[in-house]
A = this chain, B = another copy of it.
Amino acid sequence: MNFLEERIVKDGAVREGNILKVDSFLNNQLDIKLFNEIGREFKRRFAGLPVTKIMTIEASGIAIAAITAQYFNVPVLFAKKSKTVNLDGDLLTTTVDSFTHKTTNTVTISKKFISPDDHVLLLDDFLACGNAMLGLTDLVHKAGASVTGIAIAIEKGFQDGGRILREKGYKLESLAIVDDMDPQTGKITFRHQD
């Protein structure tokens, strides 16, 4: 097991409804030392590839994106889940269904922050159905920029997001892929990765 898989086993919990609770270190209380390990590992996995921006979606991926950006030496962009009064000018827009919140969100990014010259690394804490990442790839393509890859902390390998994104040809790197988890026993089975 790698450092993240070990931490999931130690401090995570499996709940009914395909929920993996990692809120004590990953997405509510944030272990910033762990995030630095995650950032270093993403840099290793995408070494040598062009990355000019790291892009995520509010809210829980933002902190991992910020820490990871230090290893790539690039700015972070985050797509917003609703149009706010402070976002003026030309917007790129897509829609994303949320598994967690059972809602559909309009997701936007300002055109001025992303150009055809950009090579974008998409990043999030979780990958499940893949809707959020598909929405971000749509925004990047609408901007005429290119997707260098997709960096995920925890992939739910028993849901379709990973398969869909890999079949589309994206370089998807998930630090932990959960292939099975049992709310009765708490047992978590990770996919073997080299």
Contact A19 B86, beta carbon cutoff 8 Å: yes
A167 interface residue per 8 A CB criterion: no
A35 interface residue per 8 A CB criterion: yes
What is the total number of copies of this protein in its complex?
2
Q: Using Cβ atoms and an 8 Å threshold, which residues of chain B touch A28?
A: 77-78, 80, 87, 109-110, 113
**Nearest Cβ on chain B to A136's Cβ, whole angstroms:** 14
How many residues on the A side are at the interface (Cβ–Cβ under 8 A)? 41
Q: Which of the segments A42-50, A64-72, A140-148, A179-187 contacts the partner chain?
A: A64-72
Q: Using Cβ atoms and an 8 Å threshold, which residues of chain B touch A19?
A: 85-86
A2 interface residue per 8 A CB criterion: no
Contact A86 B24, beta carbon cutoff 8 Å: no
Q: Using Cβ atoms and an 8 Å threshold, which residues of chain B touch A84?
A: 100-101
A96 interface residue per 8 A CB criterion: no
* Cα(A85)–Cα(B31), bound, Å: 22
Among the listed B25, B58, B86, which residue makes an inter-chain contact with A58, where contact means beta carbons less than 8 Å apart? Answer: B58
**Nearest Cβ on chain B to A184's Cβ, whole angstroms:** 17
A62 interface residue per 8 A CB criterion: yes
Contact A76 B32, beta carbon cutoff 8 Å: yes
Q: Using Cβ atoms and an 8 Å threshold, which residues of chain B touch A80?
A: 28
Residue from A24, A29, A84, A110 with most neighbouring chain B CB atoms (10 Å): A29
